[in-house]
Amino acid sequence: MSKVCKKCGVKHKSSATYCVMCGEPFYNEQGLKARNIRRTVGIILGVLALATVLLFIFTSGPKAAVRRILNGYKRNDPDAVIASYPDFLLESDKIDKNELIRSTRQNVKDMSDYIFMYKLGKAEDPSESEREELMETFRFYADENFSDSDIQGIKIIWADYTGNVPAVWPSRAARFIVIKYEGRWYWWPDTV
């Protein structure tokens, strides 16, 4: 019994393992199953790798930090918003931590009454003067071990609101300052 190449139609001996004309391999049932399993495993691994990359993109970075904050407001989850503050702010002896947490909880409660949608703008670098002013603020709130190199990045992100936004709000956009501290992006509240 002879084999016929499915690709080019050339006949071969039954013991042939590949087509001498086009190089197409001949698979027996076991070989065909193994090839299909390898292909399926490759596809699954590729999808998992893509999902991991997308998850990393959406859960890290300056925009992800703002997303966590705004979603915390939408879900009435003040703990998520408080967790978005950098440790050196919460540990500072220059602010009343209990008051900061109390006011944050109240703000989240007030804001969560309004169901709003948001769209994030691009992450921008602050101007040199803004950056230096922010660094002065960070130095003020941090302890004596703080150095400028502890802040690996500063970004400004605008969020445009739509939906059930109170008419008393002066605008339909808000500015968020996020800082990269100890390898993670945190929110720096303007009101501190």
User: Residue 21: its pLDDT value, please?
Assistant: 79
Return the structure tokens found at 100. Answer: 């900061």
Q: Give yes or no for a contact between 126 and 154, defined as CB atoms under 8 angstroms apart.
A: yes
User: Residue 80: its pLDDT value, please?
Assistant: 93
User: Residue 128: its pLDDT value, please?
Assistant: 94
User: Residue 30: its pLDDT value, please?
Assistant: 60
Among candidates 8, 128, 98, which has minimal Cα distance to 136?
Answer: 128
Q: Give yes or no for a contact between 68 and 84, defined as CB atoms under 8 angstroms apart.
A: yes
User: Residue 150: its pLDDT value, please?
Assistant: 92
95 vs 79: CA distance, rounded Å: 18
The structure's pTM equals 0.65
pLDDT tens per residue, the chain (192 residues)?
578 888 888 888 877 877 887 888 876 656 667 777 888 888 898 888 887 776 665 556 899 999 999 999 889 999 999 999 999 999 998 989 999 999 999 989 888 877 678 889 888 999 999 999 999 999 999 988 888 899 999 999 998 887 776 666 666 788 899 999 988 999 998 766
